Homo-oligomer: A and B are copies of this chain.
Amino acid sequence: MASQVRRQVFLGTFIHSRSRTELEYLHDSAVCVDEHGVIVKVERGGCGGSGSGSGSGSGDTTSSSRLLQSLGWSEGEVDVVACREGEFFFPGFIDTHVHASQYPNVGIFGKTTLLDWLDKYTFPLEASLSDLGKARRVYTACVRRTLRHGTTTAAYYATVDVAATNLLADLCLSLGQRALVGRVCMDSEATCPSYYRDESAAESLERTRQTIEHVRAIDPGFELVGPVLTPRFAPSCTGEAMRGLAEMQREMDLPVQTHISENRGEVALVERLFRGSRSYADVYDAHGLLTGRTVLAHAVHLSEEEAALVRDRGSKVAHCPCSNSSLTSGTARVRWLWGRGIDVGLGTDMSGGYSPSVLEAARQAALVSRHVAMNGDGEGEAETEAEAESHKLTVEEVLYLATRGGAVVLGMEDRVGGFEVGKQWDAQLVGFGRPVRDQDGDGQQEEDEDEDEEDEGNVDVFGWEDWEERMAKWLYVGDDRNTKKVWVRGRLVHARRGRW
């Protein structure tokens, strides 16, 4: 199934995370991508091109010839893609928690919190997607929309329905988005609505196997699309279903995704439903679901004891700041989780979260970290000002969460998240348009001239900003208009009008 692309040489500025705290800026550089979409060479500096200010868009032919020679590639078989001045390549975003099935409800949550939100908005919509025409419409819109925002990898929740879940996997493959696709398991008669649940644990497991087999049929090596075991969350699952999924996990070494400790009402519900368990995390652990391949969404109200357990098991956390603020769930503490040795990525969590954009999730992660700084880490002890300030996340840190952090959370850190030889070319070309011009007179005429130009979005660059400041502007003011092109495994999967 590994579809081939033409060999490609990318020229210009490449920016990615060197570490959690630092971005690396590679100017005048080149990245060579082979016919399998794999990076085979990274030439750091000395490649001319836009980074040095030529802005030609055609690259530096001498250096690209030399590169081709060194790889034994001939010019005719290679596409050269060069940044324009001010543009840069950035790793594709990784959305570690998103409900494709809830996409039509983005922004619609009223004043609800988690449990009434599920009943009022979410379950009815999810159930309705057993209509495959509707599912196709919703899932196509969701995958296309997230690709436009530079999401090259998404960990999707679909619905209970097998056929609709399989359709989502088909669409990810055909539209070219790397994805984990999970059929939602929810079989508890006590808590799930009668119109939307698996009839039994056995059925839950059998239907899950059907979706895994479907994904295996369309992408045998799980190279672009893979299955993910998806117990919705402890309250909606029987112990039998959770144990069965854990067995399946061990048998096939599959990733697992679920929710944990999103909302205080939910935590109390888990306590009531699973009497005798020491904690929410302990419920999953007791059923064998806290594995090194488990992605736990939210983790807002984890105790120290739970954090230690999660760390010991090697499970990861999907931080969903838009959702947590919207549904009044709480403020997850990224610095606190990191400090306890837990890896963290970002999730849009549509439609608990209102935005399809991982860039928006990163922005809100920065803001939520400031709310943690203002209101404490919930540990009950007064913090010093320095301790409080330490919760704040930097531009560099939230962009790490959006890329490499997400890759680690989904167990894909060897394949995506940065620009190194051996990784796949999952990337976006980012740009801001021309710097704001000098103005003569009242500025009216220039406005008319602008009419024929591409809408380059809201980032106004004046020309005096350094690269760190440009990245800050992109994070806080940027949107999908700044994502000019998107590639997954070397394949161009989105380009803004006029940029093919």
- Name A residues whose Cβ lies closer than 8 Å to a Cβ of B: 103-104, 106-111, 133, 136-138, 140-141, 144-145, 170-171, 174-175, 325-326, 328, 330-331, 354-357, 363, 367, 370-371, 373-375, 389, 392, 394-395, 436-439, 442-444, 447, 451-452, 455, 458-460, 462, 464-465, 469, 472-477, 479-481, 496-497
Contact = CB atoms under 8 A, between A and B. Distances in A.
Given A367-B326, A375-B375, A458 B443 contact: no
- From A138, A389, A460, residue with most partner B Cβ within 10 Å: A460
Contacts of A356: 458, 477
Contacts of A443: 136, 140, 144, 171, 174-175
Given A171-B442, A497-B455, A111 B394 contact: yes
Given A106-B477, A455-B455, A137 B436 contact: yes
Contact of A107 (B145, B328, B472): B472
A356 to B, nearest CB: 7
A403 to B, nearest CB: 19
Contacts of A144: 443, 447
B451 A355 contact: no
Closest 5 pairs (CB-CB, A-B): A107-B476, A354-B476, A174-B442, A107-B473, A375-B375
When all copies of this chain in the complex are counted, the total is: 2
A330 B145 CA distance: 34
- From A107, A331, A373, A480, residue with most partner B Cβ within 10 Å: A107
B392 A458 contact: no
B460 A103 contact: yes
A376 to B, nearest CB: 8
Contact of A328 (B175, B374, B462): B374
A142 to B, nearest CB: 9
A140 B440 CA distance: 10
